[in-house]
A and B are shown apart, each in its own frame.
Chain A
Amino acid sequence: MRVAICEYGAGNVRSVEIAFRRLGAELTDRVEDADLAVLPGVGSARAALAGLVARGHDTALRRRFAAGRPILGICLGLQLALEETEEDGGVQGLGLLPGRSVRLREGRVPRMGWAEVDGRGTFYFAHSYAAETPCATAWSEGVVAEVRSGSFFGCQFHPEKSGELGARYLEEALSLSLA
């Protein structure tokens, strides 16, 4: 099982690497033809997208998506896959799925900590923006927690930081990409 984690000069790439290595995955730089491509994410949308484009990951991810090969977007990685985000004065996303990411309007922001994802259990969140999309498949306290469109899977929470349950979530992503 070869997993490509898109590195783009920002974020907690190492945490994601550690989590996948623990599951026995082999890490590769080949975003386009790995068994699973992971778009991780923390940081700001504009810098992240610029970093993705500078490394050619945007093209590789679009090709993967068109070919129906699995991609997992985590947190900002999910938001970047949408058509646009209102972060940083408005940034155009990869457009792998319809919708936009908007600033959280309720509660304390950033929304930090463990929260229930309906039907899935408790996961760790750390975000100020969230998706508004017809592709949502799970919610947490009214916030979109998971999306799916074709071969793109996205989670707003951080499975790599969500203990045992998070590890099982990543394991499931690996098994789906084998199917």
Chain B
Amino acid sequence: MAAGRVVKGIRFQGLRDVGDPVELGAAYSDAGADELVFLDVKATLEERATLVELVSQIAERLAIPFTVGGGVRSARDGEELLAAGADKVAVNSAALERPELVTELASQLGSQAVVVAIDAERGRVRSRAGTTETGRAAVEWAREVEARGAGEILLTSIDADGTRAGYDLELTAAVSKAVDLPVIASGGAGNAQHVAAAFGVAQAALLASILHEDPDRLASLRDELRELGVPVR
């Protein structure tokens, strides 16, 4: 998400407009998506809060869990998003700058509503939509946010993002092993085999590029996963 539209790039670069967030969100919910993750990727860079009104419009159309992130800097920001209809709040850059934010969000909203999004390149965490090095190892940061009360980790491999060449299984396995929290693998999904492989090391897998291009792909993907022996609802 950027400037009120759904966008997607490759390795966080070259964001392309792929649609209207309210319509796409409703289409995914109706098509049987298990969860919707909405990340306002420009919020931190543009030094503004997430688009609360847009979150509210999307929530109105969903019957599935809804995670919202981008520009969350305080427990108050988190509360506003939940009040607008989000079920979980994703935090990234602001937590890297001030890790206590994870603790504050967890105590205010409950751990189950706090997703820490980690963007990693070659195992190292980057912040501000991938533009800034942090010097932290993804595995260490995951352990720290777990200790601080995070409820889930959304782990995006910048190396794999948008490539459709498969998830970064090495990174995902390393983080998943380091924590007892559920880990959502993100970045690189190209086909059902990739998703099935991600389920081998993570508890959930996020899809973006291949669905934005063709939302109907979700239904066929579920069938293919079932054939591969992956339990889907």
Contact = CB atoms under 8 A, between A and B. Distances in A.
B182 A110 contact: yes
Q: Is the interface of A mostly helix, strand, loop or mixed?
A: mixed
B152 interface: yes
Contact of B181 (A19, A108, A164, A166): A108
A113 B182 contact: yes
A109 to B, nearest CB: 7
Interface string B194-220: 000000000110000000000000000
A152 interface: no
A14 B83 contact: yes
A128 B111 CA distance: 8
Contacts of A91: none
A15 B85 contact: yes
A15 B59 contact: yes
B151 A110 contact: yes
A11 to B, nearest CB: 7
B156 to A, nearest CB: 18
A161 B112 contact: no
B9 interface: no
Interface string A62-92: 0000000000000010000000000000000
Interface of A: 10-15, 18-19, 22, 42-44, 76, 108-110, 112-114, 121-122, 124, 126-128, 158, 160-164, 166-167
Interface of B: 29, 32, 34, 59-60, 62-66, 82-85, 87-88, 107, 109-113, 151-152, 180-182, 203-204, 233
Given A42-B87, A108-B182, A162-B63, 6 more contacts: A11-B82, A14-B83, A14-B84, A112-B182, A124-B34, A128-B111
21 contacts: A14-B59, A14-B83, A15-B59, A18-B59, A18-B85, A42-B87, A42-B113, A108-B182, A108-B203, A110-B181, A110-B182, A112-B152, A112-B182, A113-B34, A114-B34, A122-B233, A128-B151, A160-B63, A161-B87, A163-B29, A166-B63
